[in-house]
Amino acid sequence: FGSRVRHPPSLSSSLAPPPLPSLLRGPASAMQPARRRPIWGLFALALLAALLGLSGRRSGGLSSLAGGRPAPRAARPAATALRAAKRPAKRKQKLSLAEALDREKERKQEQEGKKDEAKLAPEQTLWEGPPSSTEIFAPFLSCFLVIGIIPFIAAVNRQFRVKYKITDRRVSVTSGWDGKDVTEFSYQEIYEMRYGLRWLGYCADMRINLRDGAKVELFGLLNFEQNYQYIYERCDQDARRRSDKPPQERYK
């Protein structure tokens, strides 16, 4: 009773057609889950892609060296050559400590020699005198009025108390009611100069601005063309550029 009875294959199963391929099975077979591909195939594909990438990089580098697009590092040899050419010049400019001390000593000796020459050479005066006497003319006419007496006295006092002195080293102005106020400055201290002619150039009023902000006024300066040209030539280039040009050049 416990044994199984095997039935012989039926005629219908033996005559059944073979299974169709997956492409001809239709939509029902497409719904079935796909079988997993072996992992060795994926590994082979990844290895092949890596080999192709390495070969492409090598071919690109060879093509750039063979005459393709120049590599960005190709410009470095030229720059290094220029730097190497400039380095010897810089090294030549560098002085040793002994040479630097010798040059400094020579420079100090030259400065001391110039100072000695300046001390030994006497100061030469180009012009010295009072303001123009034409300043008294207008106050004198105003003396017929009571108000004009005070300006006339001040103008006369200027003729006796004010003195202008121009030398080869400095400009000196003596002023004040008692003639004891002295203002002196060298030509290097001049920042700019302005002037206005009076009596058709017979004299002029001149204003000198110094570098420290002080202002010195010279009213009724006589022999103006020669005096201004002398001062103008001894100023530095920047001061001449800011100042008024001499009358010989300004009124051509």
**175 bridge partner residues:** 181
- State pLDDT tens for residues 192-230: 999 999 988 899 999 999 999 999 999 999 999 999 999
Nearest to residue 241, comparing CAs of 196, 207, 193, 206?
193
**Residue of higher predicted confidence among 165 and 3:** 165
Nearest to residue 40, comparing CAs of 48, 52, 50?
48
Asked if the structure places residue 139 within a domain, the reply is yes
Residue with tokens 């002295």: 182
Asked if the structure places residue 98 within a domain, the reply is no
Asked if the structure places residue 13 within a domain, the reply is no
Asked if the structure places residue 142 within a domain, the reply is yes
Rounded mean pLDDT, 145-152: 81
Contacting residues for 27 by C-beta, under 8 A, at least 6 apart = none
CA distance 219 to 131: 6
Burial class (CB in 10 A: 0-12, 13-18, 19+), 179: middle
Asked if the structure places residue 132 within a domain, the reply is yes
* CATH assignment of the domain containing 144: 2.30.29.30
Nearest to residue 191, comparing CAs of 245, 236, 230, 246?
236
Residue with tokens 């121009």: 166
**Residue of higher predicted confidence among 21 and 86:** 86
Burial class (CB in 10 A: 0-12, 13-18, 19+), 224: buried
Asked if the structure places residue 197 within a domain, the reply is yes
Domain range for 218 is 126-244
Cα separation values, 230 from 19, 37, 101, 239, Å? 126, 107, 39, 14
Burial class (CB in 10 A: 0-12, 13-18, 19+), 228: buried
- The kind and range of the H/E element at 37 are none
In the predicted model, is pLDDT for residue 29 greater than 50? no
- State pLDDT tens for residues 95-143: 677 788 888 888 888 777 766 665 667 889 999 999 998 888 888 888 8
Asked if the structure places residue 219 within a domain, the reply is yes
Domain count for the chain: 1
Asked if the structure places residue 73 within a domain, the reply is no
